[in-house]
Amino acid sequence: MKPVDESKLGPPLKFYNGTATLRFLEDEWTYYLVQEDGTLVKQDGVSKITGIMDKPYLKPWAAKMMYLKMLRLMPRKDQAEGLTPRVKDITWQEFDSLLLDAKNAHAERLEDAGDVGHMAHTWIEASILNAITFNQGVVEQMNEMAPTDERAYSAGMAAHKWMVKHNVRWISTEKKIYSREYGYAGTKDGDALVDSCDDPGCCTRIFQDEYSLIDWKSSNQLSLEYLAQTAAYQHAAEEEFPDFKYDARWILRLSKEGDAKQPFEAWYERGVEEDFAFYLACLQLHRAHKTVEKRMSEQKKLKTFRKREEKKTVTAEKKEKLKFEKRLAKASKA
């Protein structure tokens, strides 16, 4: 394991009345627990853990991204209006080059989606911080420094529509969590007091002032792993403060397409036990996988070392044999 560049670590993060200290390395998006002797111990991250889940929907999505990029890249012949477009004659090498270029379309789309999500999250966070500081946590309007990207802007406005619809009063945003019992850390999007709305498709019961954990998602669909992630955030917060309990969790997918009819999709959850058991299963599998992976890596290194040593031995023996033969030849001539 390579040493941690401590100059790149963030400021100390205190938990459990100051008895636990973590440092965050943003370059690797990794948390480290500071031991009494100052050594750093890497902690598992909430979102990285659930990444071990199988996502079968990603394969057809990746194929679709490649297909769409090929449609954009494929050269066409100029056609008169009304006639069917035709593909331009290209060499096999040119076609192969187009395929290789299109093959990475899914990675480009993921990177682009990540940038859009980051811009939206940043705008939402700034608006919430402003509301907490100046307006008792109520976001009456979004921060004036809106993103120029239309998709990020749409996602931010979708978040605001949910806030208004549910009379949301923010208590905190982007707060770090740490579970000393299970050794994981992360950042929850926010805590707020939330009321029910008058849409039975969204809120199936009437409630007021529910202390809720909020999690924003800018993905194209809600995934089961989000239930595990938010359950991990909730457990860590309640583990550190045993007298505190959440009333609910809200997982909100924000539309990036400016959908007026459905600007957001919400999962509203009150129970946590099943979802946290789901997270712990992912955590156990992740750690078991890392342990086996490390063992096999060490075996591979040992085999490589032995082959090198054997090669050195064979080379040395050949050299000694060659020297002996030269001496023997010289002696016979004498």
Return the domain boundaries, the chain: 6-45, 107-284
Read off the tokens for 204: 């199936």
Residue 81 has pLDDT above 70, yes or no: no
Residue 1 has pLDDT above 70, yes or no: no
Residue 115 has pLDDT above 80, yes or no: yes
Instruction: Give the pLDDT confidence of 43-69 residue by residue, as tens digits.
Output: 999 988 988 766 666 677 678 878 777
Task: Give the pLDDT score at 70.
Answer: 80
> Using alpha carbons only, what angle is made at residue 216 by residues 128 and 118, rounded to the nearest 5 degrees?
80
Q: Determine whether 228 is exposed, middle or buried from the number of CB atoms within 10 Å of its CB (0-12, 13-18, 19+).
A: buried
Who has greater pLDDT, 7 or 139? Answer: 139
Distance CA(275)–CA(214), nearest Å, equals 15
Contacts by 169-172, CB closer than 8 A, 24 or more apart: 169/136, 169/137, 169/138, 169/193, 170/128, 170/131, 170/132, 170/137, 170/138, 170/139, 171/132, 171/137, 171/211, 172/132
Distance CA(156)–CA(147), nearest Å, equals 9
Packing angle, helices 225-240 and 273-333, rounded to 10: 100
Nearest to 124 by CA among 219, 44, 229, 215: 215
Residue 187 has pLDDT above 70, yes or no: yes
Beta strands in 71-117 (DSSP E): none
| pLDDT bucket at 316, cuts 50 / 70 / 90 | confident
Residue 110 has pLDDT above 60, yes or no: no
Task: Give the pLDDT score at 18.
Answer: 96
Distance CA(210)–CA(160), nearest Å, equals 18
Who has greater pLDDT, 98 or 251? Answer: 251
| pLDDT bucket at 122, cuts 50 / 70 / 90 | very high
Share of the chain above pLDDT 70, in %: 93
Question: Average pLDDT of 316-328?
Answer: 82
Who has greater pLDDT, 104 or 157? Answer: 157
Residue 277 has pLDDT above 90, yes or no: yes
Task: Give the pLDDT score at 39.
Answer: 93
Amino acid identity of 189?
A: D
How would CATH label the architecture of 107-284? 3-Layer(aba) Sandwich (3.40)
| pLDDT bucket at 82, cuts 50 / 70 / 90 | low
> Under a CB-based contact definition with an 8 Å cutoff, are residues 159 and 119 in contact?
no
What's the mean pLDDT when you consider all of the chain? 89
Residue 280 has pLDDT above 90, yes or no: yes
Residue 220 has pLDDT above 90, yes or no: no
Task: Give the pLDDT score at 91.
Answer: 87
Which range (27-41, 75-89, 218-232, 245-259) has the least confidence?
A: 75-89
Q: What is the phi/psi pair of residue 265, to 5°?
A: -120, 130
Task: Give the pLDDT score at 305.
Answer: 87
Read off the tokens for 328: 């023997």
Distance CA(290)–CA(71), nearest Å, equals 40
Distance CA(52)–CA(127), nearest Å, equals 33
